[in-house]
């Protein structure tokens, strides 16, 4: 868990936490601040605009690379409809990628199918 990640990071190992954080912006910011203190190299969070802006602000001045998870690769078009999204997965990936860029994220996570379009 996190104790092991902290131990690895303190020993100089680059640690990528694939946590896919998603919560209200203040909660995400506090989580990111704590992860920065751990010395982790990379962290994933869901690519929602407020979430990304809060995370970027919380990580400011650190070496933490924030990656926005655009759409879970397991989600298909029917899942998107069932969840109430008005976009198909491909369109939402493009939209969230642009939002991640504007928020100042270090990168995004998407499926190989969307990688070329992004």
Pairing status of strand 65-69 against strand 107-109: parallel
Q: Quick one: which of 8, 66, 1 has its CA closest to 32?
A: 66
Identified catalytic residue from 20, 30, 50, 60: 20
Catalytic status, residue 20: yes
| Euclidean distance between CA atoms 34 and 40, whole angstroms | 10
Give the H or E element holding residue 8.
helix 2-10
CA-based Rg of the chain, rounded to a whole angstrom?
A: 15
Rounded to whole angstroms, what are the CA distances from 36 to 6, 58, 66, 68, 76?
10, 8, 11, 16, 33
Q: Which positions are annotated as active-site residues?
A: 20
């Amino acid at each position: 868990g996190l104790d092991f990640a902290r131990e690895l990071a303190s020993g100089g190992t680059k640690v990528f936490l694939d946590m896919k954080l998603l919560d209200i912006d203040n909660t995400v910011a506090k989580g990111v601040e704590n992860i920065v203190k751990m010395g982790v190299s990379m962290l994933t969070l869901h690519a929602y605009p407020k979430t990304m802006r809060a995370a970027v602000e919380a990580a400011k001045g650190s070496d933490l690379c924030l990656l926005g998870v655009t759409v879970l690769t397991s989600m298909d078009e029917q899942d998107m409809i069932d969840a109430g999204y008005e976009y198909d997965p491909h369109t939402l990936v493009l939209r969230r990628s642009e939002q991640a860029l504007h928020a100042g994220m270090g990168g995004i996570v998407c499926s190989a199918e969307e990688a070329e379009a992004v």
